Chains A and B, each alone.
Chain A
C-alpha cells in the first residue's frame, strides 16, 4: 500500500506564516469627549497588540475589553455592511471595520469622531440629521400601481436601466461622505452628499414617478446648488458610490440637460 505524505511547506511559506503571526504593538489614540457634560476633547493612549489582519475596530474593541470599558463606539456587522463604525482614522473618514491597521503604515493610530456630526460621546455621533435628510428624499419607488397586488406584473427593467442607478443603491448610510464634505462643515442646513446621491438614485430609476417631487426638494437654497464639487465624498465612500457624480447628474435634470 502506497503511503502518501503531505509535501513539506517551503522555507518561504514558513517565513510568510511567521510574519503573519507576528505580534506588533501600536499606540491607539482615542478621542474622548462628552459634550452633554461639557467635557472638552482629550486623547487617551493605549498600547494594543495587533497582527497583520487586525482591523481598527478590533483594536478599539481590544481596548474596550481589556483596558478601558468606557470607550464609546458604535458598531455592528464588522463587515462594512451596516455603516455603523464610521470615524476619522488618522484624519480620514473611514469605516473602522474595513480599515486594517497594517494598511495605515503607522505605529500610532488616532481615531476621532466624524466631522460634521454632533458628538454623543467619544467616537459615537448623532445620525439624526443624516437620517432625516435621507427620509426627505423619499427613498422609495413612487407610482400609482404596484407590483405586489395579485393582478399586477413586475416592473421590468433592462440591464441598462439598472446600470443608471445601481452603484447609488449600494449606499449603507455610514455618513462618511457627509463627514468629508467641506460644504457641510459650514452649512448645517445643507442636504449633504448622502441625501443628494439617494435623490438621484430614485430619480434615475425608470420605475419611479416621483422625479418632480424630489427635484423640488433638492432645488433649495441649501440643496443641490451648494455643492462645490470637491469630490471628497466620493473619495471616502467605502462602497464605491460616487455621490459627487450623482450630484452633477441630478443638476443636469434641473438645468434641462437630462429629461
Chain B
C-alpha cells in the first residue's frame, strides 16, 4: 500500500477516534460519574447495541492509528530491509490480534457470557 494511503487512514482514524471518544466520555454524564462505572451499568452499555458498535469502532480506530504510529516511530528509529519488513508485518499482526481480542470481549459481554 502506498504511504499516502496509509497516512490518509492514519489521519482519518485520528479524527474519527477524537469524535467517538468524546461521545464515549460524554456518555458518562448521562448519570453520576461513579454510577457510570458500576458493574451493572458497564454491562448494560455492552447490551445496548449502538453503544457496543461504537465501542467496537473506537477499538478499531485506535488500534489502526496506534499501531501505525508505532510502525512509523520504529521505522524512523532504525533502517534496513528485513527490519522494516518485520516492523510492517509485526504492526499489522499486532493490530489484528488486539482488534480480535477486544472484539471478543465486546461480543462476550454483549451476549452475557462472562
Contact across chains for B4 and A187 when beta carbons are under 8 A apart: no
The CA-CA distance from A226 to B76 in the complex, in Å, is: 8
Contact across chains for A219 and B3 when beta carbons are under 8 A apart: yes
Within 8 A of A (CB), among B31-78: 72, 75-77
Q: Contact mask A215-234 → B, CB, 8 Å, 1/0? A: 00001111101100000000
Does A119 reach chain B (CB closer than 8 Å)?
no
Contact across chains for A187 and B76 when beta carbons are under 8 A apart: yes
Contact across chains for B79 and A225 when beta carbons are under 8 A apart: no
**Contacting residues, chain B, for A24 (C-beta < 8 A):** none
Contact across chains for A226 and B79 when beta carbons are under 8 A apart: no
Does A254 reach chain B (CB closer than 8 Å)?
yes
Does A76 reach chain B (CB closer than 8 Å)?
no
Within 8 A of A (CB), among B75-89: 75-77, 79, 84
The CA-CA distance from A170 to B7 in the complex, in Å, is: 30
The CA-CA distance from A204 to B54 in the complex, in Å, is: 42
**Contacting residues, chain B, for A221 (C-beta < 8 A):** 3, 75, 84
The CA-CA distance from A189 to B3 in the complex, in Å, is: 15
The CA-CA distance from A225 to B9 in the complex, in Å, is: 13
Contact across chains for B79 and A219 when beta carbons are under 8 A apart: no
Contact across chains for B3 and A225 when beta carbons are under 8 A apart: yes
> How far is the CB of B12 from the nearest CB of chain A, in Å?
11
Contact across chains for A255 and B8 when beta carbons are under 8 A apart: yes
Which of B2, B76, B77 has the most A CB atoms < 10 Å from its CB?
B76
Chain A contact residues: helix, strand, loop or mixed:
loop
Does A66 reach chain B (CB closer than 8 Å)?
no
Which of B7, B8, B84 has the most A CB atoms < 10 Å from its CB?
B7
The CA-CA distance from A189 to B84 in the complex, in Å, is: 12
Does A183 reach chain B (CB closer than 8 Å)?
yes
Of the residues B4, B76, B84, contact of A186 by C-beta under 8 Å: B76
Contact across chains for B75 and A222 when beta carbons are under 8 A apart: yes
Does A188 reach chain B (CB closer than 8 Å)?
yes
Q: Contact mask B1-38 → A, CB, 8 Å, 1/0? A: 01110011000000000000000000000000000000
The residue of chain A having its C-beta at the shortest distance from the C-beta of B75 within the complex is A221
The CA-CA distance from A190 to B72 in the complex, in Å, is: 12
Q: Contact mask A238-259 → B, CB, 8 Å, 1/0? A: 0000000000000000110000
A–B complex contacts, Cβ < 8 Å, 28 sampled: A183-B76, A186-B76, A187-B75, A187-B76, A187-B79, A188-B79, A189-B79, A190-B76, A219-B2, A219-B3, A219-B4, A220-B3, A221-B3, A221-B75, A221-B84, A222-B75, A222-B79, A223-B3, A225-B3, A225-B4, A225-B7, A225-B72, A226-B72, A226-B75, A226-B76, A254-B4, A255-B4, A255-B8
Please provide the 3 A-B residue pairs with the shortest distance between their CB atoms, ordered closest to farther. Answer: A254-B4, A187-B76, A189-B79
Instruction: List residues of B whose CB falls within 8 A of some A CB.
Output: 2-4, 7-8, 72, 75-77, 79, 84
Q: 20 additional contacts, CB 8 Å, given A187-B75, A225-B4, A226-B75? A: A183-B76, A186-B77, A187-B76, A187-B79, A188-B79, A189-B79, A190-B76, A219-B2, A219-B3, A219-B4, A221-B75, A221-B84, A222-B75, A222-B79, A225-B7, A225-B72, A226-B72, A254-B4, A255-B4, A255-B8
